[in-house]
Every structure is written in structure tokens, then in C-alpha cells.
Amino acid sequence: MSSGMKGVGIARLGQVAVNVQDVARATAFYRDVLGLPFLFAAGQLAFFDCGGVRLMLDRPEKPEFDHPSSILYFLVPDIQAAHRRLLEAGVAIVEEPRVIAPMPDHDLWMGFFRDTEGNVMALMSEVPRKG
């Protein structure tokens, strides 16, 4: 290994594939409900930007890949307002926002929801303590 490098040199997360059954329906959800910037489509694939990380929506190519995706934690500045917007859009809520961990200068809040494809996703917010 070269001077102090550990592992393979990963700098950051570049792209996440989200399994979907209906790319058009999921594209509308990620674009219109979550408000992620749509980057481009390539064949049946749809790509979005999430703060420099690309999300790729795609139908599973093989049966062994046909399962819900990993949970994506979307960082939002105001979790209560974001949660209200999801409710107004008729999004299926799995768990209401709540404090997950009190930190020294803020509380870590999370709330969970399902996208149109049944994948569980989360809102996450670091809420400063009033003080």
C-alpha cells in the first residue's frame, strides 16, 4: 500500500441504485414529491442529483436483485415541514419524525416513509438545541 492510504481510496458516495417497478411513477415521485433535481434519462434509467450523489432509478435486471433498496436518509433543514409536505402529497408514513439521539449541541431527528415502489426511505435532521 502507498503512503498511508487505507482501503481502495474511496472519496465519497457517487451513485445509489434504487430498485423500482415503474420508472415513470418513481420518477414523478422523486422529482415532484421529494423535489430532487432530475439529471437525465438513459433508456429505462432515470437519474437525479441528491447533493452531489446521483440516484439511479431502475427496474431490477435479475430476480435476485428484485428487493427493496437500502434505506436512504435524506438530510433536511426542517423535518417537521418536510414531513407535512409528504403527508400533503399522500405519501405512506412508516414512522413519524422523532428524536433518535440527543447530541451535545443538537438533536438527531428521523422519520420514515415509503416511496411509490414500497422502498422505505428516511428524513433526517440535525435540530439545534434552543438555549
Q: What is the pLDDT of residue 68?
A: 84
Consecutive 10-residue averages of pLDDT for the chain (131 residues): 65 91 97 97 95 95 87 94 96 97 93 95 92 67
Q: What is the pLDDT of residue 4?
A: 64
User: What is the distance between the alpha carbons of residues 48 and 57, in angstroms, rounded to a whole number?
Assistant: 8
For the chain, the structural domain boundaries read 15-62+69-128
Q: What is the pLDDT of residue 3?
A: 56
User: What is the distance between the alpha carbons of residues 82 and 34, in angstroms, rounded to a whole number?
Assistant: 9
105 three-state secondary structure: coil
Query: Which CATH number describes the domain made up of 15-62+69-128?
Result: 3.10.180.10
Q: What is the pLDDT of residue 17?
A: 93
28 sits in which H/E element: helix 23-28
Q: What is the pLDDT of residue 1?
A: 45
Provide the whole-model pTM: 0.84
Distances 28 to 47, 53, 73, 117 between C-alpha atoms, Å: 12, 19, 19, 12
Q: How many CA atoms lie within 13 A of 45 on its CB side?
A: 14
